[in-house]
Structure 1
């Protein structure tokens, strides 16, 4: 598996399908922490439906950023990597080059 090292202790790699549920959970967790002010209840329900739809999530290619062994960020793409579908990074890991990678 290809792993890209960023700042010390942080790496990015493509997730295995078995890790997708954790990526979806992280996305929802961060959405709930940061998206409250930007989205109404209908937007929240739509997002929850998306991340809880196993078939939809499994159709994505998901990359994970790890600090040590902890998943701290995700980016998912679809349509042959032409569309970013999910892009969430824990706030404590902002400005560390994760999003650029």
Structure 2
């Protein structure tokens, strides 16, 4: 894919885009990931993304979010906490396998490295995302684990 073929805008999210981004995360989670979890895990995920403290952290700038837009509509999002841990990465189903997730990851890593001097990023990947992260160069830190009903594989990438 050449640069000219990628027709998405990738940028930091605006404050008023929080709800749309979280709705995308929830919808995509239900479509592709919820079946891998017990009901406790689904509730834990929903509680995490609807927590007002998380939204306040975003508004204060302590929880960064980048979005991918197509025709002014959010079709992907990625968030990072503690300046180096990816906590959410979701792309609308109609935009899967079009480079959106990769572009979000690239933009986030570029920001972390150039703006914050971060050289390593971590993620607790869902079972659905493990292959995606491996293709980007992430390495497993440990085998799959479960906490609060959430299944994940701890991974890292040197940027």
Task: Give me the TM-score of the superposition, normalised by structure 2.
Answer: 0.56
Partner of residue 57, structure 1: 55
Higher helix share: 2
Q: Which one has the largest radius of gyration?
A: 2
Q: Determine if the alignment matches structure 1 residue 88 to structure 2 residue 86.
A: no
By how many angstroms is 1:8 displaced?
4.4
- The runs of 5 or more residues in structure 1 that have no matched partner are none
Kindly provide the CA deviation profile for residues 54-81 of structure 1, in whole angstroms up to 9, marking residues without a partner as x.
221342211111111111111001111x
Kindly report structure 1 stretches of 4+ aligned residues shifted beyond 4 Å: none
Choose which of 64, 70, 74 in structure 1 pairs with 2:73: 70
Where relative contact order (Cα < 8 A, 6+ residues apart) is larger, the structure is: 1
By how many angstroms is 1:20 displaced?
1.1
Aligned residues: CA RMSD: 1.7
Corresponding pairs, count: 96
Distance 1:99 1:6, change over 3 A: farther
